[in-house]
Amino acid sequence: MRTISKLFAIGLTLMSALLTACGSKTIQGVIITGQNNHNWPVSHQALKLTLENSGIFTMDVAVSPAAGEDMSGFNVDFSKYKLVVLDYNGDPWSEQMNAAFLDFVKNGGGVVVYHAADNSFTDWKEFNEIIALGGWGGRNEKSGPYVYWKDGGLTRDETPGSGGSHGARHEYVMNRRDSEHPIVKDLPENWKHASDELYDRMRGPGNIDALLYTAYSSPETGGSGREEPLVFTVRYGKGRIFHTMLGHCGETLEDNPAMQCAGFQELLIRGAEWCARGEVTREVPADFPTATSVSLRPDYRY
């Protein structure tokens, strides 16, 4: 009997180790928010709900001081986390915060750059290398080239001009440019995204690692007339970065189609897991949008 009990205990220990190795423990992450020209009081809730409802993540929220207030005491203990989600577009962080964030990424931390977070920190060289492309904030040809999809590849366009624009919000089709990356493997080649802004004319160092999805920015909606890179990965040091320009936040959690889009949510979850673990365990859901049909998740879960 003692031998059986001992073998049973060993079996439980091995099973626990196996589950841990397979990533059964939730990923500890933090959403940095608090300043944004977008509706951050709603967007950070939608991000947290989407990630935590997947069962993969446990997310803290770090809220900065308001615009114009003292930022010196705003510091995140990045050592507690495997994932940082940037929902921030505001005043510069302190030098201490900047250094801690760079150390986190260089040493293998995962970063999700969400929507207007790529409007931030125009003059911070390392941050622009982490996001690869940004807009607004005075960005121009000094910030780097325009980068867009043309003739089967990415084009770097040195034409002078401001960086960052978008036309009217509308539904548009996302076009996959990488079929093997874990974030997008087995996802549809084309799918219709819910009504959203379509960022275009973005500029920066353009150090995209894997281009995942683009979309055509039609002049009919005030766009660039180019196929724009909207979802991609970046490498910085040992860190993995997932950059999504999708997800303009609505007035409320209930009136928020771009973030309720099943495609947006799945890419966020898969991209965040890849950033933190280097793999994606999520199965392709039955409600993923098709090339002709939008799919919404009003409660931010599947």
Q: Which top CATH class is 28-277?
A: alpha beta
In the predicted model, is pLDDT for residue 250 greater than 50?
Answer: yes
pLDDT tens string 256-268: 999 999 999 999 9
At residue 6 the predicted structure's pLDDT band, cuts being 50, 70 and 90, is very low
Q: pLDDT band at 7, cuts 50/70/90? A: very low
Write down the pTM of the prediction.
0.91
Distant-in-sequence contacts of 248-255, Cβ < 8 A, 24+ apart: 248/38, 248/115, 248/169, 248/196, 248/197, 249/38, 249/39, 249/40, 249/42, 249/43, 249/46, 249/115, 250/39, 250/42, 251/39, 251/42, 252/42, 253/42, 253/45, 253/46, 253/49, 253/300, 254/298
pLDDT score of 2 more than 70:
no
**Model confidence at 19: pLDDT above 60:** no
pLDDT digits (tens, 9 = 90+) for 158-172: 999 999 999 999 999
pLDDT, residue 156, reads 98
pLDDT, one tens digit per residue, over 113-160 is 999 999 999 999 999 999 999 999 999 999 999 999 999 999 999 999
Residue spans of the domains in the chain: they are 28-277
Cα distances from 128 to residues 14, 31, 117, 185, in angstroms, run 44, 19, 11, 27
- Residues 109-116 have a mean pLDDT of 98
Across the range 6-19, mean pLDDT stands at: 37
Residues 210/234, Cβ–Cβ less than 8 Å: no
Average pLDDT over residues 5-10: 36
3-state secondary structure (DSSP) of residue 186:
coil
pLDDT tier at 24, thresholds 50, 70, 90: low
Q: Which residues, including other chains, have CB under 8 Å from residue 295's CB and lie 6 or more apart?
A: 261, 262, 263, 287, 288, 289
Q: What number of CA atoms fall less than 13 Å from residue 212's CA on the CB side?
A: 26
User: What span, in angstroms and rounded, lies between the C-alpha atoms of 69 and 84?
Assistant: 23
Residue 22 has pLDDT above 60, yes or no: no
Q: Residues 35-46: what's their mean pLDDT?
A: 97
Confidence of residue 53 (pLDDT cuts 50, 70, 90): very high
At residue 80 the predicted structure's pLDDT band, cuts being 50, 70 and 90, is very high
- Decide if pLDDT at 39 tops 80: yes
pLDDT in the model for residue 129: 98
